[in-house]
Amino acid sequence: MKIYSLLTILLPLAVATASAQVAVQAELLYPMTGDLKPIEDGVVLCSKDGKIEKVGPAGAVPIPEGYQVLKAKVATPGFIDAHATVGLSGILNLDRHDQEQLEKSAPIQPELRAIDAYNGRDPLVKWIRQLGITTIHTGHAPGALVAGQTMILKTNVPTITDPEKNTLRPFAMVASTLGPDGFGSGGKAPGSRAKSLAMLRETLLKAQSHLKKRKEVEVGIIGKVDPDLRLDALADVLEKKVPLLITARRHHDIAAALRLQKEFGFRLVLDGASEAYLLLEEIKAAGVPVLVHPTMARPYGENENMTFTLAARLHAAGIPFAFQSGYEGYVPKTRVVHFEAALAVTYGLPHGIALAGCTSAAAELLGIADRVGSLKPGMEADLSLFDGDPFETTTHCIGVVINGTVVSEVAK
């Protein structure tokens, strides 16, 4: 691969208007399809409806007159942060009024909706957008037995007025935590691993009964069932409409999550999984994907056995994974997935696989690969432009396109 150090964004000689269609031309264009190889001197044309119209080498995809042309050394699909709390955990960090990611008055609260707390105008959302992150899976944080719901949306949405229109998934997953981080404080339950699993099982059994009644209503056996925000959310998990996202760092907490998944049959996504390398065969056999723990996490306590080689080991074992910015109760609450992927490359992960971990593979894991994560005709036109390899510390993101609209032209 070439080493890049210079990037320019050029407009056509004619003055581009705000309504001009966008074309991206890059010395290396990563469509993230098929074999993951880049196209040299590649072009992407964005249509008026915000979709990708054409992709290919410059010789095969001429740029029509009147397009706003962005030129880069490297262009990729818009980056995806596969698990964050940005928009709920605000820039002030320690100030309670902008920290909406965790509510611990009760241990199990799956009814808490991420859309009810999200602030798309928080400066951190703009910050990651300017770094090329166009889609985020964000919401309630690890730190409670069941913390609440997550959602998936673009980073150019300032306010959610219509969940179906403003998000890709208004209800993406239910976030849960096993291990000490999910224990109650001040003598509140749960106070141990066994109590955590007992409480979770008990609630899932109640959700099973509630789901049975919902199905009886559908076939006319009973007239109605009263809505129950808590049980309705977990019933959706049991119906496999949404996964249960379980943050589990120690090997025995990971094993407990796998047992619970086998017992109740829900879709499981493992989060963090610092000691997943001890259970690679079991995780693969269960068909469970992993959101790799942030390498910037502090390696002590539940993370004391974390390894920078986890992504490479998951890849070698054939386990699907994606990169995330993650969450800590103190700082930093917002990281950047570029760094996570870059460090994974340093510790043995192939470059193309690392790039997939924050584009196409992340989209597959989140169930949004029909819309984002790769560059091909018909996909939503989200692109990130760089003045070099996105995983080099000296590289800047110098342009961001979301839904065919240029949302940033600053160098970050």
Compute the distance between CA of residue 33 and CA of residue 369 in angstroms, rounded to an integer: 11
The reported pLDDT for the residue numbered 95 is 66
Query: Does residue 29 sit in the same domain as residue 86?
Result: no
Q: In CATH, what number is assigned to the domain containing residue 341?
A: 3.20.20.140
Query: Does residue 333 sit in the same domain as residue 224?
Result: yes
The reported pLDDT for the residue numbered 223 is 85
Query: Does residue 228 sit in the same domain as residue 344?
Result: yes
Section 205-232 average pLDDT: 93
Query: Does residue 35 sit in the same domain as residue 72?
Result: yes
Q: Does 170 fall in a domain?
A: yes
Query: Does residue 284 sit in the same domain as residue 346?
Result: yes
Q: Does 13 fall in a domain?
A: no
Half-sphere exposure (Cβ direction) of 176: Cα atoms closer than 13 Å: 29
Residue 6 has pLDDT above 80, yes or no: no
Q: Does 144 fall in a domain?
A: yes
- Convert the pLDDT of each residue in 252-293 to its tens digit: 999 999 999 999 999 999 999 999 999 999 999 999 999 999
The reported pLDDT for the residue numbered 312 is 98
Query: Does residue 205 sit in the same domain as residue 336?
Result: yes
The reported pLDDT for the residue numbered 279 is 98
Query: Does residue 126 sit in the same domain as residue 70?
Result: no
Query: Does residue 55 sit in the same domain as residue 187?
Result: no
- Convert the pLDDT of each residue in 15-51 to its tens digit: 333 458 999 999 999 999 998 999 999 999 999 999 9
Q: Does 106 fall in a domain?
A: yes
Residue 63 has pLDDT above 70, yes or no: yes
Helix (H) or strand (E) holding 69: strand 68-77
How many angstroms separate the Cα of 23 from the Cα of each of 27, 43, 45, 243? Answer: 14, 7, 5, 37
In 105-180, which ranges are continuous DSSP H helix?
A: 123-130, 163-166
Half-sphere exposure (Cβ direction) of 163: Cα atoms closer than 13 Å: 13
Q: Does 101 fall in a domain?
A: yes
Closest C-alpha among 34, 69, 160, 56 to residue 401: 69
Count Cβ neighbours within 10 Å for each residue of 171-180 and write b for 16 or more, e otherwise.
bbbbbbbbbb
Q: Does 2 fall in a domain?
A: no
Q: Does 234 fall in a domain?
A: yes
Compute the distance between CA of residue 356 and CA of residue 36 in angstroms, rounded to an integer: 8
Residue 228 has pLDDT above 90, yes or no: yes
Residue 8 has pLDDT above 60, yes or no: no
The reported pLDDT for the residue numbered 330 is 74
Q: Compute the chain's Rg from CA coordinates.
A: 22
Compute the distance between CA of residue 323 and CA of residue 390 in angstroms, rounded to an integer: 14
Query: Does residue 281 sit in the same domain as residue 388?
Result: no
Residue 2 has pLDDT above 70, yes or no: no
Query: Does residue 167 sit in the same domain as residue 107?
Result: yes
Residue 142 has pLDDT above 70, yes or no: yes
Query: Does residue 68 sit in the same domain as residue 88?
Result: no
Q: In CATH, what number is assigned to the domain containing residue 37?
A: 2.30.40.10
Q: Which residue has the higher pLDDT, 313 or 14?
A: 313
In the chain, the percentage of residues whose pLDDT exceeds 70 is 95
* Domain count along the chain: 2
- Convert the pLDDT of each residue in 170-189 to its tens digit: 999 999 999 999 999 888 99
- Looking at 13-27, 216-230, 307-321, 369-383, which range is the least confident one? 13-27
Q: Give residue 217's domain range.
A: 80-366
Q: Does 4 fall in a domain?
A: no
In the chain, the percentage of residues whose pLDDT exceeds 90 is 85
Closest C-alpha among 73, 71, 157, 78 to residue 114: 157
Query: Does residue 214 sit in the same domain as residue 251?
Result: yes
Q: Is the peptide bond before 123 cis (omega within 30 degrees of 0)?
A: no
